Structures are given as C-alpha cells and as structure tokens.
C-alpha cells in the first residue's frame, strides 16, 4: 500500500518503473497534466467572482477577454501538453477534430496521444457545483516519424496506458491509473502541491446509491425503467438512495468511495446516449475497472467497443460490479 502524504511528484518517480514502455515521457505527461490542473483550478475557484471579474465575452479587469471556463480549460491543457513535447496529437471534446503536434524539429516522433474533456459538467459552475477534467492516454499506433492520424485516436479503451480525472470540488483532487491500481491525490492550495490522500482506491463490490437523471424516465429503455423500480422497491437493503449531481466526475467519485451505480442510458433526446465514448466513458471505465468496478453500455464492456468516430456517444452503466451486473440482467431480460 503506497504511503499516504507522499507528493504526486514523489509517487510518479517511485512508480516510474511500472510504466511498461516509458523512458520518462509518461511521467512527464502526467506531470504536465498536474500543472494544467493547477492553472484550471485557480480559474474555476474564481468563477464565483464572475460579477466582479466579468462573465465570458466581457473584458475583465486586466482588460483581457474573459473566456468561458471550458474554453479556458481547453486552451490551458492543450498549451501545456503541446509545450512539453511529449504527445504527437491531442483530441478534445471542445474541438471538432484532433490536433497534430509535430514535436521537436517537426520529427513527429512523440509516442503518446491524449484525449481530454477539459471541463466536464461546466454548466454546474454557475451554481457552484463541482466539475471535473477527464483525460485518457494511448500510445500512437501509426509509425513514428509520420504525422498522427485519426487511427491513433480511434483505439478501443482497453488500449489506454493511463487515464484519470481532476475533480474541482470542496478540495481539488487528481485520481488516475497507469494500469497498476487507482490512486487519489489532494491539492494543498497553499503550496500548490498534490499529496497522496487516497492510496489504492477500491470500488465497493456493491452499494446502495443509484445515480441517474430520472427526469428522463419516460424515455428510458424498459430495462433501465425496470432496474430503477427494483432499486426503489421495499425489500432487503432496498430502497436504495438516489444521488445525482449532474457532473459525471463527481457522481462517479462519490460512488467509488461509497459504492453505487451511475447510469446515462440512451433516451429519445440522445438515442445513442449523451456521454462521449472517447472523452468520458473510456477513461472513467479504465479507472473504475482498475478499482474493481465495472463499466458497460448495458450489454458489452465499454473498453471493448471499437470507436468509429471521435465524438461518438454510448449508453453508460458504471460503478460497483454487482450493481452494474444487476442492471445488465434487467437490460437483457427486457430484450427478450
Ligand atoms: P443531464 C455534463 O454535461 C455531463 O456530460 C456529465 O458530466 C453529467 O453526468 C451529465 O452530462 C448530465 O446530463 O442530461 O442529466 O443534465
């Protein structure tokens, strides 16, 4: 069990050997994400002062264009990742297409691609509810020395070499995995250092929390309706508790600590589901599976889905293994 209160920097150096291929780039990549997260955290925490500092589109007190926070976050992560000369390409939920990074002397010889949702749940900022950044890292699959292509981004989730999220909540945390378990680091804002606060995070096998936007109930598939009614029935440890923040990172982070299931099914409005496979579901699935949980589209493992487009959406069932499996039995039963 890693020793608590170690800094993120010390942890990365001590676990350098665990990264199968890395000669340090993956560590530097995680470090660059750590830096960008501090920059975004500073801006997110100022959001409450928007009346003083000006809303997006205004000119702020420094005479600069006040940016929407998701635009700011997107630019902060892209700039930091580009400057560190470690990745050959970036795909962002905020960008229509991927960004090619040619690297030193335009050699196109950087090893990794990063996919990022720079500020997930940003609509919650105006009401002071926690939001998050989600990142996913793959090794490129096309030949080094050539510009990155769409194939480098359309990899199934089980090819990820690292994934993580930053949660800008009552405290700011980085939670990530490189395939050797999940560890959580809490930022001490006074000194700008992250400390290992949640070593070796484990998703409880089961739980009593279900997280779904029941406002969409009438549009849910029958299997989801049946599962929700089962959660609400008076039997044994049920009824379960309904908890839904409307911020994916926060809902899953809470459920990973307490036990629970998060469901965003397909609905009439979102016939393929609302969440993006590449920027939200695959990274969260990697983290959740590494912590002993489960993530599917109601029928098949999320990380086995072969992506066809950058922004494709999937239904998402994610959390405590036994709860996801129970929901899948209702989905299967409703099929027949
Ligand atoms: P709804 C935020 O927009 C998000 O992508 C997730 O963070 C969140 O879980 C979900 O959408 C909320 O969607 O339709 O319930 O408001």
Q: Is the CB of residue 247 below 6 angstroms from any atom belonging to ligand 1?
A: yes
- For ligand 1, atom 3, the nearest C-alpha belongs to 121
What's the pLDDT band for 13 if we cut at 50, 70, 90? confident
Mark whether 284 and 258 lie in a shared domain: yes
> Which residues, listed in sequence order, are joined to residue 92 by a DSSP beta bridge?
116
151 near 144, Cβ under 8 Å? no
> Which residues, listed in sequence order, are joined to residue 241 by a DSSP beta bridge?
209
Residue 30, number of CB atoms within 10 A of its CB: 24
pLDDT tens digits, 152-193: 999 999 999 999 999 998 899 999 999 999 999 999 989 989
Mark whether 167 and 213 lie in a shared domain: no
Mark whether 136 and 223 lie in a shared domain: no
Residue 333, number of CB atoms within 10 A of its CB: 12
Atom from ligand 1 closest to the CA of residue 123: 3
Q: Provide mean pLDDT across the span 55-71.
A: 62
The dihedral sign for the CA sequence 323, 327, 330, 332: negative
Residue 12: phi and psi, rounded to 5, are -65, -45
For position 221, what pLDDT does the model report? Answer: 96
133 near 259, Cβ under 8 Å? no
Secondary structure (DSSP) of 131-163: EEEEEEEEE--SPTTS---GGGT---GGG-SEE
For position 268, what pLDDT does the model report? Answer: 83
Strands (E), 40-111: 87-92, 99-100
What is the chain's mean pLDDT, rounded?
90
From 43-47, 172-176, 217-221, 228-232, the region with the lowest mean pLDDT: 43-47
Which structure tokens are listed for 240?
A: 């379960």
Q: Is the CB of residue 213 below 6 angstroms from any atom belonging to ligand 1?
A: yes
Q: Provide mean pLDDT across the span 96-116.
A: 90
Q: Provide mean pLDDT across the span 313-326.
A: 98
- Domain membership of residue 3 (yes or no) is no
How many angstroms separate the CA atoms of 95 and 263, rounded?
A: 26
Mark whether 158 and 58 lie in a shared domain: yes
Q: Provide mean pLDDT across the span 292-303.
A: 98
Atom from ligand 1 closest to the CA of residue 275: 5
Compute the C-alpha angle 269/270/273, nearest 5°: 150
Write down which residue in 198, 233, 260 finishes a domain: 198
User: Full-prediction pTM beyond 0.85?
Assistant: yes
pLDDT tens digits, 17-34: 776 666 678 888 888 999
For position 319, what pLDDT does the model report? Answer: 98
Q: Which of 164, 139, 125 is nearest to 34 (CA)?
A: 164
Q: How far is the centre of ligand 1, averaged over its atoms, from the C-alpha of 219 (Å)?
A: 16
- Domain membership of residue 203 (yes or no) is no
Q: Provide mean pLDDT across the span 2-7.
A: 77
What's the pLDDT band for 273 if we cut at 50, 70, 90? very high
For position 26, what pLDDT does the model report? Answer: 82
For position 157, what pLDDT does the model report? Answer: 98
Which structure tokens are listed for 89?
A: 């390409």
Q: How far is the centre of ligand 1, averaged over its atoms, from the C-alpha of 332 (Å)?
A: 25
Q: The domain containing residue 125 runs over which residues?
A: 8-198
Q: How many domains does the chain have?
A: 2
- For ligand 1, atom 13, the nearest C-alpha belongs to 246
Which structure tokens are listed for 249?
A: 């990172």
- Domain membership of residue 256 (yes or no) is yes
For position 64, what pLDDT does the model report? Answer: 55
Mark whether 193 and 213 lie in a shared domain: no
- Percent of the chain exceeding pLDDT 70 equals 91
Atom from ligand 1 closest to the CA of residue 117: 5
Is residue 21 packed enough to be buried (19+ CB in 10 Å), middle (13-18) or exposed (0-12)?
exposed
- Domain membership of residue 268 (yes or no) is yes
The dihedral sign for the CA sequence 264, 266, 268, 270: positive
| End-to-end CA separation in angstroms for the chain | 45
Atom from ligand 1 closest to the CA of residue 251: 9
Given a cut of 50, whether residue 52 has pLDDT beyond it is no
Q: Is the CB of residue 67 below 6 angstroms from any atom belonging to ligand 1?
A: no
Given a cut of 90, whether residue 259 has pLDDT beyond it is yes
Q: Is 106 left (phi over 0), alpha (psi -120 to 50) or beta?
A: left
- For ligand 1, atom 4, the nearest C-alpha belongs to 121
Mark whether 72 and 125 lie in a shared domain: yes
- For ligand 1, atom 12, the nearest C-alpha belongs to 246
Name the residue of 68, 73, 246, 277 to mutate for ligand 1: max ligand atoms within 8 A of Cβ: 246
How many angstroms separate the CA atoms of 325 and 178, rounded?
A: 25
- Domain membership of residue 230 (yes or no) is yes
Residue with tokens 């279900």, as numbered in its chain: 210
What's the pLDDT band for 302 if we cut at 50, 70, 90? very high
Q: Provide mean pLDDT across the span 269-279.
A: 93
- Domain membership of residue 100 (yes or no) is yes
Given a cut of 80, whether residue 48 has pLDDT beyond it is no
């Amino acid at each position: 069990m890693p020793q608590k209160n170690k800094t993120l920097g010390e942890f990365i150096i001590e676990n350098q050997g665990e990264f199968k291929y890395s000669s340090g780039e993956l560590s530097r990549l995680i470090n660059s994400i750590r830096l960008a997260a501090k920059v975004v955290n500073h801006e997110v925490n100022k959001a409450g002062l928007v009346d003083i500092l000006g809303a997006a589109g205004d000119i702020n007190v420094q005479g600069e264009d006040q940016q929407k926070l998701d635009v700011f976050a997107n630019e902060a992560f892209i700039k930091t990742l580009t400057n560190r000369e470690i990745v050959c390409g970036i795909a962002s939920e905020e960008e229509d297409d991927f960004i090619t990074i040619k690297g030193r002397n335009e050699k196109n010889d950087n090893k990794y691609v990063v996919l990022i949702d720079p500020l997930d749940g940003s609509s919650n900022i105006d009401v002071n509810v926690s939001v998050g950044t989600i990142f996913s890292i793959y090794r490129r699959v096309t030949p080094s020395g050539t510009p990155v292509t769409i194939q480098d981004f359309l990899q199934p989730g089980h090819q990820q070499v690292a994934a993580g999220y930053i949660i800008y909540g009552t405290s700011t945390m980085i939670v990530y995995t490189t395939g050797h378990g999940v560890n959580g680091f809490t930022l001490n804002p006074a000194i700008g250092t992250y400390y290992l606060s949640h070593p070796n995070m484990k998703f409880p096998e089961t739980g009593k929390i279900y997280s779904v936007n029941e406002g969409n109930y009438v549009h849910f598939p029958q299997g989801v309706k049946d599962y929700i009614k089962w959660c609400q029935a008076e039997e044994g440890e049920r009824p379960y508790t309904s908890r839904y923040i409307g911020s994916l990172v926060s809902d899953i982070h809470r459920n990973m600590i307490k036990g629970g299931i998060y469901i965003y099914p397909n609905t009439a409005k979102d016939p393929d589901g609302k969440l993006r496979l590449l920027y939200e579901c695959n990274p969260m699935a990697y983290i959740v599976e590494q912590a002993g949980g489960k993530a599917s589209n109601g029928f098949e493992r999320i990380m086995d889905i072969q992506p066809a487009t950058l922004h494709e959406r999937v239904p998402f069932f994610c959390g405590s293994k036994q709860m996801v499996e129970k929901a899948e039995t209702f989905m299967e039963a409703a099929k027949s």
